[in-house]
Structure 1
Amino acid sequence: MTLLDAPAPAPTVGSSARPPKTVEVYDFRRPTTLAREHSRALELAFETFARQWGTQLTAKVRVLSQVTCESVQMLTYDEYAASLPATTAMVLCPLEGVGPKAVVQFPASAALAWVGHMLGAAKPPVTPERTFTPIEQALVRRLIEDALDDLRYSFGGMLVDQIGVGGFQYNSQFAQAAQKSDLMIVAIFTIRVADRPSTATVALPAEVLLPQLGDATPAVGAAEARRLLGAQLASVPVGVSLQFAPAAVLPSVVLGLAVGDVLPLPHPQSRPLEIRVDGQPVGRAAVGANGSRLAGIVVSTSLTGTEEGTS
């Protein structure tokens, strides 16, 4: 029996089972992610859009609706398309002057339920995934047009390119909204219309949004970096101590110390004490007083090599 065929050891009595480790796949071809400042700005914009979208759906389908933004991330278009169901409704939204298209994706069955509410059904039946009829597509197109108006309002200056409703696709693997390697800002939403929840996504080309967000890590010149470093160091507290000259003592003397013993120090009374900052000598100071407390009167500094007379 080889090592690979050996049975796993049985857990001992009283041992706690370890939870399985979560492994996150790291793509070395795309090591960069959204900067924290960019991610927060996009989350705020998508959360505003979610509220607007929910209000718009409530007004259009005449049923209480709520939209919640669950997450925002940056993916390649290939990764985004692979994460979608094979059969779903995708609205491709061209952007003026930009090759990649934005995508609004949602289950076709959920959109058919929205249409049923718009046409007066109190509780539309659950419909399997299928393509829209011309009338259904016209009604869904109107909903998406209103949603894009809310998207432009929510993003403000971050979305400066004109965006419109293009074609409908029902197979996520065949929809060609962008090149496989194009980066997309993907937001995932939970849409609850009446008592029926569904998951939708909105994907926007990163090249449209990131330039408007600015540089999260602007370059700093050498002179400015030196000034910033000096300003930071000047505000960091450090420990300052006054020290006598060290005395060499045998271990036998140290082990025999008792209360009342006197240790002679090779430090003349007239010699100033050494000023140390975190163990590094920076000057000398004489023992003095500041009110009711002891103080050190600086007499020299090794940083400048000059004689001082201030405390």
Structure 2
Amino acid sequence: MPARSGPAVEPYDFRRPTTLAREHSRVLELALETFARQWGTQLTAKVRVVSQVTCEQIIMETYDEYASSLPATTAMILCNLEGMDARAVIQFPATAALTWVSYMLGSNAAQVVPERKFTQIEQALVRRLFDDALEDLRYSLGPLLETAISIDTIQYNSQFAQAAATADLMIVATFAIRVGDSSTTATLAIPAPALLPQLGQSAVLAATGNTRDQVASQLGWVPVEVALSLNPVFVKPSRVLGLAVGDLLTIPHPQHRPLNLTVDGETLARAAVGANGARLACVVVEATDSTTERANQ
């Protein structure tokens, strides 16, 4: 007998009901992988040390979720998007940027420095690095980013750098950066309204209008443990601790009454003990009122 095939299952995150469709996520992956390669080439040319950048993940989340995932102290370049109040963010450890600056100034080895704000000279060099990175980003996204983007300010506290409203959706990409022997992680967050229209707004967001039906359909295929039980008896802990072989406990379950068919302790039906070939089985003889009500909903 062929195995019964269930419906296609898609993960559903109740904390983030709005997600990128798979095909549009793939479009962004291709564009940002191109950006990562160009960014790595640009870093190699600027710091004069072999560098590599790879795009590791792309998700859509609120700005509040994004900011909460960042270290409290970190470098954040806020970028203006023409015609939009929300700003894009390029985030990276300040220590990593200071290492890149030391290479740019002629150092032959990575410098170990504490996390701190940039000096005026360091800030100028970092801005120069990321001006070029933004050029690569514009080229890689092409028609996906129709809005002009430019560097505004550099912030160092992720909780105070308000690039967008807390509920604004951001498309967040995570990059692994390797410069010489040192590695670090950077993130790029772009307000979703800057990219969604070019991806196809109507198809980008997962449908949420029939969320109840989708959840009900998914739950219908979740395995649950079904038990056949007698009515419970309540006894004091002292009685339980004093139980010994041969003791008798009276169960308040009439002999003529069927057993309780339960799921997670909730009685759904009454059933009589039976057999199916060489195996024990139960025959449902009565459905409880709550079961009937749920079936009619």
Structure 1 unaligned blocks of 5 or more: 1-23, 219-311
Could you tell me how far 1:124 is from its partner in structure 2?
2.9
Identify the residue that residue 192 of structure 1 maps to in structure 2.
178
Could you tell me how far 1:25 is from its partner in structure 2?
9.3
Could you tell me how far 1:126 is from its partner in structure 2?
1.1
Identify the residue that residue 13 of structure 2 maps to in structure 1.
26
From 76, 92, 100, give the equivalent of 1:106.
92
Contact preservation (8 Å) 1:35, 1:216: no
Distance 2:21 2:85 in 1: 24
SS at match of 2:160: coil
From 185, 208, 224, give the equivalent of 2:194.
208
* 1:193-244, Cα deviation, whole Å (9 max, x unpaired): 00000000000000000101114649xxxxxxxxxxxxxxxxxxxxxxxxxx
Identify the residue that residue 84 of structure 1 maps to in structure 2.
70
* 1:165-202, Cα deviation, whole Å (9 max, x unpaired): 11010000000100000000000000000000000000
Identify the residue that residue 160 of structure 1 maps to in structure 2.
146
Identify the residue that residue 32 of structure 2 maps to in structure 1.
46
Identify the residue that residue 75 of structure 1 maps to in structure 2.
61
Contact preservation (8 Å) 1:94, 1:164: yes
Distance 2:57 2:181 in 1: 22
Contact preservation (8 Å) 1:69, 1:188: yes
Does residue 121 in structure 1 map to residue 115 in structure 2? no
Could you tell me how far 1:37 is from its partner in structure 2?
1.2
Where does structure 1 differ by over 6 angstroms across 4 or more consecutive aligned residues? none
Distance 2:60 2:181 in 1: 31
Could you tell me how far 1:26 is from its partner in structure 2?
3.3
Does residue 141 in structure 1 map to residue 141 in structure 2? no
Distance 1:216 1:120 in 2: 51
Contact preservation (8 Å) 1:66, 1:192: yes
Distance 2:34 2:158 in 1: 27
Identify the residue that residue 270 of structure 1 maps to in structure 2.
none
* 1:217-273, Cα deviation, whole Å (9 max, x unpaired): 49xxxxxxxxxxxxxxxxxxxxxxxxxxxxxxxxxxxxxxxxxxxxxxxxxxxxxxx
Distance 2:151 2:166 in 1: 21
From 52, 68, 76, give the equivalent of 1:66.
52
Match for 2:49: what amino acid? V
Distance 1:216 1:43 in 2: 20
Match for 1:201: what amino acid? T
SS at match of 1:176: coil
Could you tell me how far 1:152 is from its partner in structure 2?
0.2
Distance 1:44 1:217 in 2: 18
For normalisation by structure 2, the TM-score amounts to: 0.64
Distance 1:141 1:27 in 2: 39
Distance 2:153 2:203 in 1: 38
Identify the residue that residue 160 of structure 2 maps to in structure 1.
174
Aligned residues: 194
Structure 2 unaligned blocks of 5 or more: 1-10, 205-297
Q: Report the RMSD for the aligned CA atoms in angstroms.
A: 1.5
Match for 2:187: what amino acid? T
Contact preservation (8 Å) 1:38, 1:216: no
Contact preservation (8 Å) 1:152, 1:159: yes
Does residue 183 in structure 1 map to residue 169 in structure 2? yes
